[in-house]
Structure 1
Amino acid sequence: MMREPEGATRLLPWSTVRGRPCFLVSDGTGYVSRLADSVEAVRLGMANELLGHAADLLKDHRATAIELHFLALRLTESLRDVLRIAESQGARLGGGAPKPPSGEAR
């Protein structure tokens, strides 16, 4: 199990090239914090659009197995992103140190 760095204040919405979580030690006002806010906003917007697409595709009873499989992959990725954002924001609201979301590489 990976331990968060001493004084970590935020789980960032991206990982290292090896898939490990990235943490930020900051007062929350710097460039990296603003970049993370922007990335989170984009990912949440994409998740919302994906939900609309999923609803449309699932209404179409002619959707193929390949289309449904692709949709399931994208929904899984999106859910992972949203859970990571929720955990990061929850840790900041609750004042606790962030921890890697379950399912993340450790």
Structure 2
Amino acid sequence: MTYDRESTTPPRSGLRLLPWASEKGTPCFLSPESGASVFTLLADAVEEEQLDDADAARRHGQAVLGNSATDADALRQALEASNRALNDVLRVADSRGDRLAAYEDVASSCDDKERGSQDGDDPHLRADAFG
């Protein structure tokens, strides 16, 4: 099943795009409140396997391209494997990019709280204020 970046709507803030699709081909998402759930750990393992497969497809494609005696069937197979791997890697990149953006938003919010408000009436103090 292919991943179509154009037709996949970005998830609601904080939802994780999973590295697989439903039986109907629609994207699957996971709520961040699930923490280190079985699905989170499974998704991490599947993403890691997809990245390893992509690296193997890249290395195989490089070898096929480097062989001047390679026939059209071998080139087609290498291209198909590379296309499948690129499909998976794009999904992983989008999923991780969405989570990174959400993480950066939270980190930025925390930084704002540490700095206090502009008029000085915020009761939060930075830890280094205590020496």
TM over 0.5: yes
**Count of residues in Structure 1 that have an aligned counterpart in Structure 2:** 96
Q: Which has the higher contact order (CA 8 A, sep 6+)?
A: 1
Shift in Å, 1:3? 4.8
TM-score of the pair, normalised by structure 1: 0.81
Q: Does 2:81 correspond to 1:74?
A: yes
Unaligned runs of 5+ in 1: 97-106
Q: Which has the higher helix share?
A: 2
Partner of 1:48: 55
Alignment match, 2:27: 21
Match of 1:84 in 2: 91
What is the aligned partner in structure 1 of residue 64 from structure 2?
57
Contact 2:11–2:17 under 8 Å retained in 1? no
Q: CA RMSD in A?
A: 1.9
| Bigger mean CA offset, 2-11 vs 42-51 | 2-11
Q: Which amino acid aligns with 2:82?
A: L
The residue type paired with residue 98 of structure 2 is A
> Structure 1 segments of 4 or more deviating over 6 A?
none
